[in-house]
A and B are shown apart, each in its own frame.
Chain A
């Protein structure tokens, strides 16, 4: 890094680039515009009707009538309470489990492949996991079937509430199962930035156990880097729609579901309270984030005293071990959810209390085959288009960064996180109003764009670190051998970074496949993907059919991951074979 030639060569490269790099310099602005613009416009487009202004449907006067209507609607207090409680509970538990897991797992040999191990869970869309969870935890579900009647004595399923329970615990459980692996991955990434091994070694010499040492020495160092992902989890948990539709209470539902219900109502006058509900949710998310930041300060003070007390192996170690076990159990639960739905997709009949279906068939698949073609093709096309556009923009941004030697700072990171921090429902309605008025709604391009908003940040976040970590000497050698910047990019950097690029693309692909609300709104309900169909069906279709959709939904992103891992390996083997 501290190469004395660096600056000089850099300047030379910069000179060369200046002439041709004009377009490239627009890349960051273009990228930011792609997602900030619709979000900003969408927020305004939602806020105006919340105060009575939407001339298209006769709302011309500003006022607080929509808010009055919102607060007068039956069960609104319960809906708000459920939203806040489930969202915050899911975040707290996810963070606790992820930290506990990492504290216990740190330094173990198998953790080197943690990314690969978590990939299938991360890649599986929330809706698919939620659908599977619903079957696993239902009173007539898999757990009850496996234990009945020999253990429970139930010949009929018990009349107790699990899925849709008023407290929302199945919703929390499913969110925790999906968000904990995400946070673990973010922590694993942050760990690369600190000299963890050295610090842990010192702590151990002072007599701390590994877990205790991790929590006291490593966590304070990495927390600033996992803060944004945690806030994203908080925002997501408070505003999730598909999982809440499938597992959450319904009478009343959470605030986000309530807003979607109003936006989809036959009576368009309900757009107004819907917009107010979306704005209220936005306010709740902002409030929760502020509360979280306040909590951080409190936690910091308590943590300092806890560290200063110097307990060598206390309750924290036991707690971390419990978190570790629970994380493993939840991951197993997610896997079970998908396996359960896979079995359903091949089941002829599967009645309570049979632990497994009496007979298997390919009939469900062959019957649905024809009707699956369109949603599968649409899902693939959307995901590929969004991924490729995002990849192009991100590579341009990163390339611009390395050519100008100006690294995007903390502010840029916040901007990238905007789509993950703003509740989708708060801007998607407004964005749809805009799309309708420009005649763009329901077009393929509009949906690609809506996906791009969420695909871009993930792709950037997964590609930026490996890109920036690429040894600059490769570039210097190539430049000194006369390579133009374009040749340098295409023949040196991209081939060297093929692995990370493919993984980032797989992440982006998975993000696109899982999009529910953006597809629904930008597509005006006319663009059907596996995810939108699966959520529609989950409201009540034959579970064998839902099984087919859930399995496909999980399989597509997982295949993308496998491909991303296998391609570079295959290329390496191929190359070695050629060289020997």
Chain B
């Protein structure tokens, strides 16, 4: 008995000691409105940039961004490597729940779609801040609707664009002579080449986007996808999708019983020779990967004739971020023409820029003109037909329905 009492006292002392490790409490200040004030305040801050870290090229780019920003603005960037962006959302929500309304641990988060909607709906984002960024004036707000509307949700300045993505298909030109150019053609190709294509797990955004892409071509009127579905409309609208998928699934890699976890895992399968055709969200994926030795030199890219889903990746600042000024410096740096050109270089990440090149001066455009070409890159004409992302609810419902149907 005495031993127990002693143990409990010691336990309390241990708890108390632990609080020594607690971070010091500092007062969060509302960010200044003026850019030079922001730059001044940002100096010395360390920005916890929460970003999905499953891609080495993107990680290297973020590291490069960190070096540049440290040199130019005296702001440190700490890349918090996420397995899934939802981890950052969870953190912010947990902090809100725990009453930590200032000095939050997430300063900047790479985000879009459902995760943005989740934070926006709960009022957990700081903003509007995008228009305060000096480089925001270059953003293409006329031709690229996805820079303003994120999965049908108006951005309203609560997130700032930094890269664009569009669905393409990567194939091995040595083994695939006639790549499919439509959703029905994909099924025909898969039937003729069983086990040679797959898609990422449907819980992964690329996997669900694969299904949404199919849905786009299979529904009579794609406009319905811009509104959230009702129970009845979901069943009727997606019926052709499931019919198509039921036919496709047995022809997939591992008979559709296993799926790669995400895009990079799928790419590794292609590099290992396990598949010949794969979906990608980066039009430069083939060029990037072959230049990095991650795919054979024979890979090429194909885009569906009727257009493919395209979206924009953003960065957002949580409402309780401790280093909002530093986070804005990072967001602005990501929009700089030189940064955007660096990101678009297929030897780096190969992302399509979010800027309107017509808004740039000749000098600012020069690095874009100087970018190298590669036979694995699609032409800009091929990428012209961009389809808007459906409302986020379609994605969550398709994922749930897929799990209900195929997870036994």
Contact = CB atoms under 8 A, between A and B. Distances in A.
B28 to A, nearest CB: 14
Contacts of A349: 293
A533 B21 contact: no
A26 B6 contact: yes
A438 B22 contact: yes
Contacts of B195: 159
Contacts of B261: 250, 539-540
Interface in A426-476: 436-440, 442-446, 449
B20 interface: yes
A352 B22 contact: no
B90 A526 contact: no
Nearest to A138: B272
Contacts of A446: 18, 21
Contacts of B85: 266
B56 interface: yes
Contacts of B101: none
B60 interface: yes
Interface stretch (B154-162, B178-186, B227-235, B400-408): B400-408
Nearest to B117: A266
Given A33-B7, A164-B258, A540-B266, A444 B21 contact: yes
Contacts of A264: 83-84, 86-87, 90
Interface stretch (A483-491, A497-505, A541-549, A553-561): A541-549
Contacts of B22: 438-440, 443
A414 to B, nearest CB: 15
Nearest to B9: A29
A352 B296 CA distance: 11
B224 interface: no
A251 interface: yes
Q: Which of B11, B54, B403 has the most CB of A within 10 A?
A: B11
B318 to A, nearest CB: 14
B307 interface: no
A443 B6 contact: no
Contact of A75 (B8, B82, B407): B407
B54 A540 contact: yes
Interface string B371-408: 00000000000000000000000000000000110111
A407 to B, nearest CB: 15
Given A57-B97, A140-B272, A443 B63 contact: no
B10 interface: yes
B123 interface: no
Given A37-B11, A266-B114, A540-B261, A445 B273 contact: no
Given A526-B48, A537-B54, A266 B86 contact: yes
A164 B255 CA distance: 13
Interface in B19-72: 19-23, 48, 53-56, 59-60, 63
A372 B294 CA distance: 20
A78 interface: yes
B175 to A, nearest CB: 9
B100 interface: yes
Contacts of B406: 251
A266 B21 contact: no
B109 to A, nearest CB: 12
B257 interface: yes
B217 interface: no
A351 B272 contact: yes
A251 B201 CA distance: 9
Q: Which of A353, A367, A444, A536 has the most CB of B within 10 A?
A: A536
Contacts of B293: 348-349, 544
B359 interface: no
A539 B81 contact: no
B274 interface: yes
Contacts of B274: 139-140, 156-157, 159, 352
A544 B294 CA distance: 9
Nearest to B82: A525
B273 A156 contact: yes
Interface in A250-284: 250-252, 264-268
Nearest to A154: B273
Interface residues of A toward B: which range?
35 or more
Nearest to B195: A159
A340 B292 CA distance: 21
Contact of B94 (A75, A164, A436): A436
B306 interface: no
A445 B21 contact: yes
B71 to A, nearest CB: 15
B263 interface: yes
Contacts of A544: 293
A334 B41 CA distance: 52
B187 interface: no
B2 to A, nearest CB: 10
Interface in A19-78: 26, 29-30, 32-34, 37, 56-57, 74-75, 78
A577 interface: no
A540 B54 CA distance: 7
B279 to A, nearest CB: 14
A541 B268 CA distance: 7
A436 B105 CA distance: 11
A32 B7 contact: yes
A315 interface: no
Contacts of B258: 161, 164, 249-251
B253 interface: yes
A57 B93 contact: yes
Given A78-B408, A440-B18, A140 B266 contact: no
Nearest to B59: A371
A34 B271 contact: no
Contact of A157 (B20, B81, B97, B272): B272
A352 B273 contact: yes
B348 interface: no
Contacts of B135: none
A367 B15 CA distance: 42
Interface in A344-373: 348-349, 351-353, 367, 370-371
A440 B407 contact: no
B98 interface: yes
Nearest to B122: A268
Nearest to B406: A251
A404 to B, nearest CB: 13
B278 interface: no
Contacts of B339: none
Contacts of B100: 439
Nearest to A140: B272
A252 B403 CA distance: 9
22 contacts: A29-B3, A30-B10, A32-B7, A37-B11, A37-B14, A56-B97, A57-B93, A75-B403, A159-B194, A159-B253, A251-B258, A264-B90, A267-B118, A268-B93, A268-B97, A348-B293, A352-B274, A436-B95, A440-B18, A445-B21, A540-B263, A542-B268
Given A78-B407, A371-B63, A543-B268, 4 more contacts: A159-B194, A264-B86, A439-B100, A528-B80
Interface of B: 3, 6-8, 10-11, 14-15, 18-23, 48, 53-56, 59-60, 63, 80-87, 89-91, 93-95, 97-98, 100, 105, 114-115, 118, 194-195, 201, 253-255, 257-269, 271-274, 292-294, 296, 403-404, 406-408
Q: Across the A-B interface, give the 8 residue pairs with the lowest CB-CB distance, nearest first.
A: A540-B265, A445-B21, A266-B86, A56-B97, A159-B195, A140-B272, A540-B264, A75-B407
